[in-house]
Amino acid sequence: MKKYFIGFLVGAFFTISATAFADDIQSLVGKKVQAEYTVEVNGKVLNTVVVEGKNYAPVRSIGEAAGYEVTIDGKKVIYKEGEVMNTSSVNENKIAEKIANLNTALENAKNKVNETNALISKLKEQSKTADSDKSKKNYESAIAESEMRLAEYQQSVNDIESNIAELQK
């Protein structure tokens, strides 16, 4: 019986201490953003927000935009003055990576377009040999559905191509 009582006390202690600890933690989740500001550092525009009168800014982005190497050590953010980074090469690498990812997505979307075109052609051929009106209606329905998917895939191709063109400017 003592074991159960001690177990109950320990459980109650942990429950009470956990809720007391949780009260100390201030969360931004659910808080209203009062304003948004932009910060320009060496021509790079960064966005910040104001929540409950405090401005929250992306510290790493600001440091990198200023040309510093930014490291995090525990809860400390360190800007290394002597080791200025070449931010233009970092940005070029990020853009090249995005373009490569978009090219992969573009290839996949084009494959979907080709597969859907082949399916539509096959369905049209099969509908010509359909025996009953019900079969013909089923084929027509499948063709219409495939043509809608084809339009979506073609729109994806167009969107991806425009994103690539925008990044290559």
Residue pLDDT, tens place only, 65-84: 777 888 888 888 888 875 55
* pLDDT mean across residues, the chain: 79
Q: Say which range, 22-31, 55-64, 70-79, has the weakest mean pLDDT.
A: 22-31
Alpha-carbon distance of 156 to 97, in angstroms, equals 19
What's the pLDDT at 24? Answer: 46
> Does the structure show a pLDDT above 90 at 148?
yes
Place 119 in a pLDDT band, splitting at 50, 70 and 90.
very high
- pLDDT at residue 26 in the model: 61
Summarize the confidence of residues 38-54 as an average pLDDT.
78
pLDDT level of residue 142 (50, 70, 90 thresholds) = very high
Q: Which of 108, 116, 110 is nearest to 149 (CA)?
A: 116
- Residue 132, pLDDT > 80, answer yes
Output the pTM of the full model: 0.47
pLDDT tier at 150 (50, 70, 90 boundaries)?
Answer: very high
SS3 (DSSP) at 44: strand
**From start to end of 42-135, where are the E strands?**
44-51, 54-56, 68-73, 76-84
The pLDDT of 72-100, averaged and rounded, is: 75
**Segment among 38-47, 102-111, 130-139, 142-151 with least mean pLDDT:** 38-47
